[in-house]
Amino acid sequence: MNIKKIISSLICCTVIIMSAFSSFYAKAAYNCDYIYNRLSAEEAEFYDALLEACTSVDENDRTYEYTPNAKYSSELTEERVGEISLIFYLDHPEFFWISLETKYSKIFGSAYFSYKILPSFRNGSTRQKAKSDIKAAAQVYLNGASKYSNDFERAKYLQDELLENVSYKINDWDQSIASVFMLGYTVCAGYSKAYEYLCNSMGIDSIVITSCSHAWNAVRIGGHWYLVDVTNDGSSDKFFLISDQRMSEIDETLNERYRVTGTLNGVETTKTVLLHDIDIFSYIEHYDDFPKCAYTFGDANGDDQRTVSDAAYIAHMLASGKRSELDFRADFNLDNKIDVCDAAAIARVLAKRKK
């Protein structure tokens, strides 16, 4: 092959890669199907009906007070329909105009469900303008994250940027990503849904988890699930890519307790709970199918924390010829091999923590 053909081939490959990168964001999905894949046939059918109804609103500029009716099977109880509708609501942050007010109806013997739309976004032109503004604001985050070489660094960047640019403040849109990308202030629901939106846009699976009083995320990095609580992380990384056990230990240490009321065995009961308790009232069935987060990312020495000790441990094991005793937790730079670069990556990231 002569030099002209080589240059021509390189240019062609570059165009293809740039085109693929462009379409990656153009066609980005804002949710992952982890929970959807665990629904029954009737539940998935209702979920699909919700998606069809919401997509129809999202793709036109007509005015709506409620989403079009989504039909559900008589095999589903209204309670379960409510749970599936919450799953969908948490799964789809791109439908920023959905409110938590809902409506059940019966038409000719068939049962239907619909979401009430936030008053600010009922007008179609306003909704479409907001959609465009949100995408543009989110793209700035995605462009920044795309400069990093692995999913850990991208996930860390997205969390840090949200904390840098968005303040905690109650507002009319605070359960929606509109509060994050249009106002610059939100609460835990907005932080977690915006993080879900951004991570999934980057191809990093993320879902929102809610307790009776809080919302956070589970994120899949390197094939394993970890917990992230953007709202409470600040600059400490305390709540970033940690295990279920580590989250529980932090809760116990902080000892911040909340009084919540719910139904337990058919009886309304008030209990004192920790921030990340999710099963206190069997709040929603799909929690039983949530991914188990067994490890803290970067925890090479097995103490369920991520510190400079892990970098030292990796270096020690490599120097001692015990590389085979290190598992996936030591592959900090996610290149499918464990070497001194992983120890250096841990040290570098910890050194970059904000003071």
Q: How many domains does the chain have?
A: 3
Please indicate, yes or no, whether residues 228 and 279 belong to a single structural domain of this protein. yes
Q: At which of 90, 121, 152 does a domain end?
A: 121
The verdict on residue 137 lying in a domain is: no
Please indicate, yes or no, whether residues 193 and 70 belong to a single structural domain of this protein. no
Enter the DSSP assignment of 52. Answer: H
Whether 313 has a pLDDT exceeding 50, the answer reads: yes
Please indicate, yes or no, whether residues 148 and 283 belong to a single structural domain of this protein. yes
Please indicate, yes or no, whether residues 150 and 74 belong to a single structural domain of this protein. no
The verdict on residue 105 lying in a domain is: yes
The verdict on residue 107 lying in a domain is: yes
Please indicate, yes or no, whether residues 330 and 274 belong to a single structural domain of this protein. no
Local confidence band at 287 (pLDDT 50, 70, 90 cut-offs): low
Going by their DSSP bridges, the two strands 185-186 and 167-168 should be labelled as: parallel
160 contacts 141 by C-beta, under 8 angstroms: no
Please indicate, yes or no, whether residues 259 and 327 belong to a single structural domain of this protein. no
Cα–Cα distances (Å) from 231 to 75, 186, 191, 240, 354, in that order, read 38, 9, 6, 11, 16
pLDDT for 235: 62
pLDDT for 257: 85
Cα–Cα distances (Å) from 208 to 35, 75, 214, 306, 348, in that order, read 11, 27, 10, 23, 29
117 contacts 57 by C-beta, under 8 angstroms: yes
Q: Name the residue range of residue 242's domain.
A: 142-289
Please indicate, yes or no, whether residues 50 and 182 belong to a single structural domain of this protein. no
Q: What pTM value is reported for the model?
A: 0.88
Please indicate, yes or no, whether residues 278 and 338 belong to a single structural domain of this protein. no
pLDDT for 237: 80
User: What are 142-159's pLDDT values in tens digits?
Assistant: 999 999 989 999 999 999
- When mean pLDDT is compared across 160-169, 265-274, 335-344, the lowest value belongs to 265-274
Please indicate, yes or no, whether residues 283 and 146 belong to a single structural domain of this protein. yes
pLDDT for 13: 41
Please indicate, yes or no, whether residues 275 and 205 belong to a single structural domain of this protein. yes
Whether 340 has a pLDDT exceeding 60, the answer reads: yes
Cα–Cα distances (Å) from 148 to 206, 227, 300, 331, 333, in that order, read 18, 21, 22, 16, 11
Query: What are the residues facing 210 on neighbouring strands?
Result: 215
Please indicate, yes or no, whether residues 284 and 320 belong to a single structural domain of this protein. no
Distance in angstroms (rounded) separating the CA atoms of residues 116 and 132: 21
Local confidence band at 259 (pLDDT 50, 70, 90 cut-offs): confident
Residue in the block written with tokens 């067994």: 294
pLDDT for 264: 73
pLDDT for 49: 97
The verdict on residue 71 lying in a domain is: yes
Whether 166 has a pLDDT exceeding 70, the answer reads: yes
CATH code, 163:
3.10.620
- Kindly state the average pLDDT of the residues 179-198: 98
- When mean pLDDT is compared across 258-262, 291-295, 315-319, the lowest value belongs to 258-262
What percent of the chain has a predicted confidence (pLDDT) above 90? 70
pLDDT for 316: 95
Whether 18 has a pLDDT exceeding 70, the answer reads: no
pLDDT for 22: 37
- Kindly state the average pLDDT of the residues 12-16: 38
Distant-in-sequence, close-in-space partners of 65: CB < 8 Å, separation ≥ 6: 116, 117, 122
User: What are 39-51's pLDDT values in tens digits?
Assistant: 999 999 999 999 9
